[in-house]
């Protein structure tokens, strides 16, 4: 499976450029789309799932232009929208049954088997007869991923799936997705939560203000910030000063002050130790220094 995004632009009626000449190549496996709120992630997702017609550019799925092959592409898709809270008055299993029918499982027996299978997978089998509205937030999300996965889609697109979930739910969620990534399937995960990507994705892209700032593996992304993450101890008074100078990522209060981690291109006047960066560091570094330098004044 392969998705190519070419020169994709989306300009809304109020002249807001949600996407600006985006080029991306996505291959099988889990793909993380990282970016701050308003970066254009959802717009890109909505174009990919055929809910939105792009202003310019094209998306090729396995070489087929998306705009001319909606039917085929749709039959490969599973989609979990960003908001997934309000349901028609259907029971959990009926909801999945509906999705399964639309995904093209025609035989009732097959459908019910698929439904039960997925309910098991996402741990909703016990509440299968409960109305979908009555599920908890986490359960709704799981139901959401279940409906996206039903009918063995080739492309699964999940938009901000972990927002508002507690850590346990989030981990369970990631596991479901990473299980899936063993197959020949493209999973596109859009998020502004760095942890979602670091634990699951082999490929990623960073989107900011409608443009792709980075595409590659998470390791490459982290490497970019190598040597720019520092650790130091500061007194309570110094804390204010340093947080004005650098983006502080963690601050652990101690007896005499804080132990802090921060990112910077260079450090002057502080007694610091270098820290091995993780994805979160990299993201902050990238957003603060690279992105701003590169694109701020365009």
Binding stretches for another protein (CB under 8 A): 49-53, 68, 70-72, 74-75, 77, 79-90, 94-95, 98-99, 101-104, 106, 144, 147-148
**Nearest 10 degrees: Cα torsion 186, 190, 195, 201:** 20
What the block records as the tokens of 1 is: 């499976």
Among residues 75 and 233, whose Cβ is nearest to another protein? 75
Minimal distance, residue 52 CB to another protein, in Å: 8
* CB of 133 vs another protein, minimal distance in Å: 10
- Residue placing its CB nearer to another protein in the complex, 74 or 202: 74
- The minimum distance between CB 147 and another protein, in angstroms, equals 6
CB of 80 to another protein, least distance (A): 7
Q: How far is the CB of 76 from another protein (least distance, A)?
A: 8
Rounded to the nearest angstrom, the gap between the alpha carbon of residue 105 and the centroid of all alpha carbons in its chain is 28
130/202 with CB nearer another protein = 130
Give the helix/strand (H/E) hosting 10. Answer: strand 2-11
Rg (CA), the chain: 21
Contact 206, 35 (CB under 8 A): yes
Residues 153 and 81: their CA atoms lie apart, in Å, by: 15
Pull the structure tokens for residue 196. 């979602």
Contact of 225 with 281, CB cutoff 8 Å: yes
Give the whole-angstrom CA distance, residue 61 versus residue 58.
Answer: 10
Spatial separation of the C-alpha atoms in residues 241 and 259, rounded to whole Å: 14
User: What is the closest distance, in whole angstroms, from the C-beta atom of residue 140 to another protein in the complex?
Assistant: 9
Are 179 and 147 in contact by the 8 Å Cβ rule? The answer is no
Give 96 or 242: the residue with its C-beta nearer to another protein: 96
Q: Which is nearer to another protein, 87 or 289 (CB)?
A: 87
In the complex with another protein, the residue whose CB is nearer, 50 or 238, is 50
């Amino acid at each position: 499976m392969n998705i190519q995004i070419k020169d994709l632009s989306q300009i809304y009626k109020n002249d807001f450029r949600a996407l600006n000449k985006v080029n991306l190549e996505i291959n099988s496996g889990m793909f993380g789309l990282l970016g701050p709120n308003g970066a254009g992630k959802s717009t890109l997702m909505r174009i990919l799932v055929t809910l939105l017609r792009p202003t310019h550019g094209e998306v090729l799925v396995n070489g087929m232009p998306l705009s001319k092959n909606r039917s085929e592409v749709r039959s490969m898709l599973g989609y979990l929208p960003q908001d997934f809270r309000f349901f028609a008055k259907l029971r959990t299993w009926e909801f999945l049954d509906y999705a399964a029918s639309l995904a093209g499982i025609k035989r009732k027996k097959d459908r019910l088997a698929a439904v039960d299978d997925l309910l098991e997978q996402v741990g909703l089998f016990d509440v299968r007869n409960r109305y979908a509205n009555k599920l908890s937030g986490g359960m709704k999300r799981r139901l959401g991923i279940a409906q996206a996965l039903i009918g063995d889609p080739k492309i699964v697109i999940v938009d901000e799936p972990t927002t508002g979930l507690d850590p346990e739910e989030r981990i369970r969620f990631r596991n479901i997705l990473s299980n899936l990534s063993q197959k020949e399937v493209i999973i596109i995960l859009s998020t502004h939560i760095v942890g979602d990507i670091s634990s699951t994705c082999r490929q990623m892209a960073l989107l900011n203000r409608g443009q792709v700032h980075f595409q590659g593996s998470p390791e490459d992304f982290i490497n970019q910030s190598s040597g720019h993450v520092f650790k130091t101890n500061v007194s309570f008074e110094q804390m204010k000063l340093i947080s004005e100078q650098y983006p502080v990522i963690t601050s652990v209060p101690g007896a005499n002050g804080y132990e802090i981690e921060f990112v910077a291109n260079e450090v002057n006047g502080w007694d610091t130790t270098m820290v091995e960066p993780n994805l979160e560091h990299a993201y902050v570094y990238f957003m603060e220094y690279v992105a701003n330098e590169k694109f701020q004044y365009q």
